[in-house]
Structure 1
Amino acid sequence: MKPFLILSLCLMLTAAKAQLTLSGTITDKNNEPLIGANIYLQDTYDGATAALDGTFRFETYEQGKQVLVASFMGYETLELELHLTEDQILNLELTEAFNAMEAVTISAGAFEASDKKKVTVLKSLDIATTAGATADITGALNTLPGTQTVGESGRLFVRGGTANETRVFVDGMEAAGYYDARASNMPTRSRFSPFLFKGTFFSTGGYSAEYGQAMSSALILNTLDVAPQSKLELSFMSLGVDAGLTKVAEDKSMYLKACYINLAPYNELISQRVSWDHSPESWDTNFAYKQKLSNGGHVKALMTGSGGHSAFTRPTVTTPSGEEEIDLRNTNLFATTHASLPVGEEDALFVGISGSYNVNDLHYNGVNINTPTVHGHAKARYTAQFGAKTSLNSGVELSYQQFHETVEVDSFDMAKDFAAYVPAAYSELDHYVSERLMVRAGLRYSHHSLLQTQSLSPRLSVAYKLTELAQVSLASGVFRQAPEWTYLKHSQKLEEEQATHYILNFQRAEGQQIFRSEVYLKSYDQLITFEDVSNPHSIKNSGKGYAYGLDLFWRDRGGIENLDYWVSYSWMKSERKYLDFEDWASPGFASAHNLSAVIKRFFPAIRSQMGITYSFTSGRPYENPNLDGFMESKTPAYHDLSFNIAYLPTPNVILYASATNLLGADQVFSYQYGPQRDELGRYPEEAVRLPAKRFIFIGCFITLGAAENQLEKI
């Protein structure tokens, strides 16, 4: 009797709890049915799977407040709160889930060389293996569109900007003194070896609000992480010797390198256009420390030191004596360290500091000029993540520059100096409206203590993904920097110079192939002008300028087996009314057409690689006082065909050889004129050329203790 009463009670309760029906459709935003989507009540077994037309139907005894869950792979899960009292018909729409790996990225003005990026324009190793670059970071970047070949300088000239308009950062910290010291019309090189870095970010404009004091370009070099294994590297070169030691212990590694270069034997073998009293001689050392932290962060430090000496005499029409006697000594020290720390699950904190000391001691035709400079940079950056689609990058920084110059002529001494602090703050928001649309908006504030100026510089970038392979990007912003020390040492009653960028970029990447096209407009304001540079009252910020053009880039790393090649082309129109220019004119470093073609062929069977680089630059303007007009003459077009070859005779030895200007082209970069007319009433003329017609390099590189395949290094 008792079991019968219990059963009757259960039947009565079940009858009292009525069965409800939930039905409807589930689609995406385009009203396409999501076949197989799961729809169910949270914390129950009641649910259904969507049919071919996206419809679903299921019954439940649940009542009152409930949560309906709808999920489908590749879409964001929908949770809908319901109050169940009767049957319901629902029309559900799911939003495509955000996938950061597939999302659009800002590509306007940006070239990234990183082994970890899905789409890369140049890998880090390309810097070392590009023919004609001679393992120089700047040399490799000069094969990219947007740069101009200024062979007598060796520096980066970007989109109508001077070399001074590009700033270099190592791990986000300023690296002042990036180039080594050379006399005028002698090409310089980067002080840093490309093998110190895992990645390179080169922006030809429109870059992040994080970086300031650069009107044209930012070059960001990111150092290697903790090394995988200990090893000893030895290099025997036609120019000198090099040794590096890497020591690994658990989650940290140390790297120490020393190098000595002496071009005296080389200059004896290769015909030179100058008479070397002391062939270029230099030394440099590097020390790097990296450590992974238990919380997922890391600490890095890099210290470099270098010194050099060169002295030569060369004939010239620019001096009364008919020659130049130049003796240059240089010492440079650089150090940077930073810590990158996770905060919570998604945020990150970066704290870093860098400093450099550089002194040039120049003796020029009896005039002695000693120039020590000190630079310092400190930065704190916090990156906050707000879900998968939004992040905020904010930071504060302080830059310091101290300059001193002493000029000695016979018994007369003259000294000039100044010091400047530049505090700055910035904030930049990245927001993905969808996987296809991204917006980046930033604002930078800075104050210059010497000039007593304050400025706000807005930056804006937008990227839209047209297809799975193609995207377009827009970038615009205001970029400012203080005048060069050449002018600040005479007058501090100046303002910051300014450039405004407008960039439109198209990029298509498929597998190992990438095509980029970019049009741009750059407007200059408040450029330096003067009548007499030594007269402080004549130096003003009344100059203007512009540059606009088209950049094209194509690279194929997989279309033809064992062949890697890229082609870049730039067309540019640039004029300025600045310095002591009489009228608007193209500056002497600006060329209308620049073309580079780089080819690398791998031969796995014989463990070798061969490379060829062809570079072309149309004639550059120069001022010829023997002709009417201003800056209307043009140099001959520049041609260079360079070659390199690398061979791996054993697993730990690389033999390498390279040569520039194989065809022996007469490379003229400009013309100089004497200060007085000759007997024919003309100003005497001379061409500006390199000290030698070509540069040849041979080296043997040995690695001991490393297990990796050294073939990958070539």
Structure 2
Amino acid sequence: MLHAQQPSSPTATTVTGRVHTADGRGLAGAVVAILETLEETHTGSDGHFVLTSTHRGVATLVARAVGFVPSTIDMVVPSDSMFVFRLVPRPPTLTQFVVVAAGEYTIGSGQTASLKPLEVAQTPGAAANIARAIQTLPGAQNVDEGTGLFVRGGDVTETRVLVDDAWMLSPVRFDNPTGHTTVTVNPFLLDRTVFSSGGFGVPHGNALSGLVRMESAAAPARQTASLSASIGGVSAAYGTRLHPRVGMRASAGLNSLAALTATFGEAQPYEPPPRSGDVSGSLEWQSGAAGRVRLFAVRQGGVFGVGQAGVGSTSHYGARSADGLAVLSWRDSSTTWRPAVTVAYASFDRNETFGTFQLRTRLSAPQLLASLGYVTTDGTRWRVGAEREALSAAYAGHMRTTTGEWSPVFTERTPSTRIGAFVEGSRRFASGFHATLGLRTDQSSLTGRRTYDPRVSLAWQRGALALTSAWGVYHQVAEPTYRRALPASAFSPMRVHQFIGGVQWGADTLGLRIEYFDKRYADLWQFADRQEPVGNGTGRANGVDIMWRWRLAQATSTRVTYSHVRSRRTDPHSGLMARSLADITHSVTWIGEHVHRSLTMGTSVRYATGKPFTDIVGARPDEGLAAPVYDDPFAARMPAYLRSDVSLSWYRALGERRGLVLWGSLSNVLGRENVMRYRWSEDYSVRFPVHAPFNRSIFIGTTLLL
């Protein structure tokens, strides 16, 4: 990555010119940038540009646009010359093929396993939410319409979310009536997001199934600002350079679905409709040519309530939550020694009310991570590291009395510390073979045990064909609420052995990827009746993920993903092997995108086998009331899930730096009433479907780029 160098003079100058096509027509919306500083601008409707820069001396000016071959001009800043670029169309041939590690997927070009902010925002149906965009990738099962990530037959709690390598707390305690949730951040606060559905290396621990690695946005090259407004909320963002080596960003937003539900109706009675807010900021100092120190902080909060939330007909669920994360990180890759240090503090506070029961969950986690990389003369890359994570968990339960007061039922406080270390080496050979081997060890005060996780990743490439595989042992300490009064010797860490084997072929314009996975679980912790923890569970999940990409033309692309999974694990009530909640046998997603001048159009169709559930087959008397009689665990299935979404966005340049974006989406185009769960009559003789929260609806908004 290139960073701005400190100039000899802070005085700004301008670079002017024009970008045109082979027939002389001005090319609107092309990006013109100085590579040495990353300062950039866009061309106007006639192809002209004005670029402001504080750089002095030799520079490389580059112009690029979608569908055209980039062009560069060597120059000296300042200059009175007018620079003219002639861009020619990119030929429809396969681009360079880059092998993607086993288990990692992409929404973008296919050459990296990352989600860029614009790709998240333009994914139809994602509503600019990173977790929803990830759900369109192979390996993530569509269990419900929440944002929870069920990865390759694993539970939602088995996926870890990181920001600049720091853990972002996102616990899931109950099956939220509107779907499981995973905490993420605004995608425009990030440079990229990498999703791994398994096979990730030893630098990352305490996760059984999946990993979401988000990297906060770098300091802006120039002053930027934006204002956004929609039927669902408002937001503002600002970024600037305080010094040639220092930059900052700040943003804030408020969201409410009240107007949306009032206009288009709701499938569930929201009491109140969801509303949330967030504020964030970052400050970065470029410590060297390839080094930086960055402080990133975000605070988010939300509240909502929904009726008919339980098995019965009259239950109400309400939740109010707040979470925050502050991360101070240092990275330097200017020499063969490459240090990285992260200091962070994460917090989470949620108050849930379910009928007459109230649960308060408060978590906090100071974290320290440090690693050192080294590149040898033969190209071997080594990295060693260590981390310390102190998790403090407090739970308080209350019951509402007949007088309306809340009476305490229990209070639990569980402090814990986890210390981990790893060593990893990787080498790329001339034959096209690439190998990564590593060993990780962890010890938690909750379990009192030390674990060892060896992991191996292999890849072989010949032209546009590549074979990949990964094998490893993964441990995770169950959440402190499972520990209760158990001694450490009885609270064993959960474990899974993973194997992934796959084949990749193609590149940007056309590509196919197939992966087989097999996961074998041991020492699982789950909840039985009355939230009693049950351990020593076992399980297995295996299946196939397929992703096919095709760029039909320079402006039109499509991709289809398919996942087949078979997931079984011990039922905590009976001790028998049964389907897991993530046993979504078949999942198919189709996404298409077309760009016509300033208009971008996208559409998506998602299908999934109905999720398993435990049916109620009768009732029995219990102290004068009816108590449910359950069928075999997870023996029944919901109806199949089907949803289609359409999105549109239009951009218009307003001068050299300003622009206007109009965007909108039509959600649930087919008006499908997807069943998320069931509720029953008071005597359990009649079953009623509870549909997905939203009806067919239109979401529109605008963003002004300043």
1:326 to 302, 317, 323: 317
Task: Verify the 8 A CA contact 1:196 1:224 in the aligned structure 2.
Answer: yes
The yes-or-no answer on 1:303 pairing with 2:297 is yes
8 A Cα contact 2:143 2:584, kept in partner: no
Q: CA deviation at 1:569?
A: 0.5
Q: Distance in 1 between matches of 2:423 and 2:661?
A: 47
Q: Structure 2 vs 1, CA of residues 304 and 230 (structure 1 numbering), >3 Å: closer, same or farther?
A: same
Gap regions ≥5 residues in structure 2:
1-94, 402-406, 618-629
1:335 aligned residue:
326
**Superimposed CA distance per residue, residues 451-510 of structure 1 (whole angstroms, 9 cap, x where no aligned partner):** 111100000111111x21111011000011011344224545311111111110111233
Structure 1 counterpart of 2:452:
456
2:417 paired with 1:417: no
Q: Which moved more, 1:384-393 or 1:628-637?
A: 628-637
Partner of 2:221: 228
- Whether the aligned pair in 2 keeps the contact of 1:355 and 1:375 (CA below 8 Å) is yes
Structure 1 residue 524 corresponds to structure 2 residue 521? yes
**Secondary structure class of the residue paired with 1:323:** coil
| Counterpart among 489, 492, 496 of residue 495 in structure 1 | 492
> Is the counterpart of residue 129 in structure 1 residue 132 in structure 2?
no
What is the letter of the counterpart of residue 339 of structure 2?
L
Q: Which string of whole-angstrom CA distances, capped at 9 and with x for unpartnered residues, describes residues 8-41 of structure 1?
A: xxxxxxxxxxxxxxxxxxxxxxxxxxxxxxxxxx
Amino acid at match of 1:621: P
- Given that 1:390 and 1:429 are in contact with CA atoms closer than 8 Å, whether structure 2 keeps it comes out as yes
User: Could you say what secondary structure the match of 1:242 adopts?
Assistant: strand
CA distance in 1, matches of 2:526, 2:269: 36
State the secondary structure of the residue aligned to 1:293: strand
Q: Is the contact between residue 333 and residue 357 of structure 1 (CA under 8 Å) also seen in structure 2?
A: yes
Give the 3-state SS of the residue equivalent to 2:701 in structure 1. Answer: strand
Give per-residue Cα distances to partners, 1:632-672, cap 9 Å, x unaligned. Answer: 22211111110011112444000111122111112013334
Distance 1:691 1:418 in 2: 35
CA–CA separation in structure 1 for the residues paired with 2:570 and 2:113: 38
What amino acid sits opposite 2:375 in the alignment?
A: Q
CA distance in 1, matches of 2:116, 2:289: 29
- Structure 1 counterpart of 2:492, one-letter code: E
How far residue 383 of structure 1 moved from its aligned partner, in angstroms, is 0.4
Following superposition, the deviation at residue 122 of structure 1 comes to 5.3
2:189 corresponds to which of 180, 196, 201 = 196
Q: 2:673 — aligned with what?
A: 666
Aligned position for 1:372: 362
Question: Is the partner of 2:580 in helix, strand or coil?
Answer: coil
Q: Aligned pair 1:644/2:652, yes or no?
A: no
Aligned counterpart for 1:476 among listed residues 471, 478, 481: 471
Match of 2:698 in 1: 696
What residue number does 1:164 align with?
A: 157
Distance verdict in 2 for CA 1:227–1:509, change over 3 Å: farther
Q: Does residue 1:634 correspond to 2:637, yes or no?
A: yes
Contact (CA 8 Å) 1:514, 1:555: kept in 2 or not? Answer: yes
Q: Which amino acid aligns with 2:671?
A: G
Name the residue aligned to 2:374: 384
Task: Quote the offset at 1:608 in angstroms.
Answer: 0.5
- Counterpart in 1 of 2:576? 583
Number of equivalenced pairs: 587
140, 144, 153: which one aligns with 2:137? 144
Which blocks of at least 5 consecutive residues in structure 1 are unaligned? 1-100, 705-714
Partner of 1:31: none
Aligned to 1:82: none
- Contact 1:114 1:124 (C-alpha < 8 Å) held by counterparts: no
Q: Judging changes above 3 Å, is the alpha-carbon distance between structure 1 residues 427 and 546 closer, same or farther for their aligned structure 2 residues?
A: same
Aligned to 1:503, the other structure's residue is in SS state strand
SS at match of 1:213: coil
Distance 1:133 1:474, change over 3 A: same
Report how far residue 229 of structure 1 moved.
Answer: 1.5
* Structure 2 CA distance for partners of 1:529 and 1:643, relative to 1, 3 Å: closer
1:203 Cα offset (Å): 0.8
Contact 2:143 2:581 in 1 (8 A): no
1:182 positional shift:
9.6
Match of 2:384 in 1: 394
**Cα deviation, residue 302, structure 1:** 1.0
| Higher mean C-alpha deviation, range 456-465 or range 690-699 | 690-699
Cα distance, 1:197–1:423 mapped onto 2, change above 3 Å: same
Looking at structure 2, the residues matched to 146 and 495 of structure 1 have their Cα atoms a distance apart, in angstroms, of 27
Counterpart AA for 2:157: N
121-130 or 569-578: bigger deviation: 121-130
1:523 aligned partner, one-letter code:
R
**What is the distance in 1 between the residues matched to 2:429 and 2:492?**
39
Q: Distance in 2 between matches of 1:134 and 1:266?
A: 13
Farther-moved stretch of structure 1 (187-196 vs 651-660) = 187-196
Q: Is the 8 A contact 1:608 1:645 kept in 2?
A: yes
The answer (yes or no) to whether the contact 2:648–2:665 under 8 Å persists in 1 is yes
* Cα displacement (A) at 1:287: 0.3
Give the SS at the match of 1:211: coil
Query: 1:176: how far off?
Result: 1.8
Q: 1:585 is paired with a residue of what secondary structure?
A: strand
Checking the alignment, whether the CA contact within 8 Å between 1:256 and 1:286 is kept in structure 2 is: yes
TM-score (norm 2): 0.78
Question: Could you say if the C-alpha distance between residues 485 and 658 of structure 1 is closer, same or farther in structure 2, counting changes exceeding 3 Å?
Answer: farther
Decide whether aligned partners of structure 1 residues 104 and 464 sit closer, same or farther in structure 2, where only a CA change above 3 A counts: farther
In structure 2, do the counterparts of structure 1 residues 630 and 450 end up closer, same or farther at CA, with 3 Å as the change threshold? closer
**Which has more radius of gyration?**
1
Q: Considering only aligned residues, what root-mean-square deviation do their CA atoms show, in Å?
A: 2.5
Which residue in the other structure is 1:426 paired with? Answer: 422
Distance in 1 (alpha carbons) for counterparts of 2:232 and 2:379: 52
Residue of structure 2 equivalent to 1:505:
502
Tell whether 2:599 aligns with 1:569: no
Q: How does 1:52-451 map to 2 (within 5 A)?
A: 105=99, 107-112=101-106, 118-119=111-112, 123-177=116-170, 183-186=176-179, 188=181, 190-248=183-241, 249-312=243-306, 314-315=307-308, 318-319=311-312, 322-342=313-333, 345-409=335-399, 410=401, 411-451=407-447
Amino acid at match of 1:482: V
Cα deviation code 1:497-527 (max 9, x no counterpart): 1111111011123343322110111111111
Q: Match of 2:346, as an amino acid?
A: S
Distance 1:563 1:180, change over 3 A: farther
1:308-355: per-residue Cα shift (whole Å, max 9, x none)? Answer: 22234x236734xx3123332222221111001247x31200010121
**8 Å CA contact 2:97, 2:506 repeated in 1:** no
| Closer, same or farther: CA 199–177 of 1 in aligned 2, 3 Å | same
CA shift, 1:253, in A, is 1.5
Structure 1 residues 436 and 581: CA distance shift in structure 2, 3 A = farther
Contact 1:341-1:349 at 8 Å conserved across structures: yes
- Give the superposition deviation at 1:579: 2.5
Checking the alignment, whether the CA contact within 8 Å between 1:555 and 1:566 is kept in structure 2 is: yes
On the 8 A contact 2:108/2:119 being kept in 1, the answer is no
Amino acid at match of 1:639: L
Structure 2 residue aligned with 1:94: none
Seen in structure 2, the aligned counterparts of structure 1 residues 316 and 552 have a Cα distance that, compared at 3 Å, is: closer
Report how far residue 200 of structure 1 moved. Answer: 1.9
Distance 1:524 1:439 in 2: 26
Cα distance change, pair 174–273 in 1 and its aligned pair in 2 (3 A): same
Distance, in Å, in 2 between the alignment partners of 1:275 and 1:688 is: 11
Distance 1:441 1:368, change over 3 A: same
| 1:533 to 1:499, Cα distance in 2 relative to 1, 3 A | farther
Letter in 2 for 1:135: A
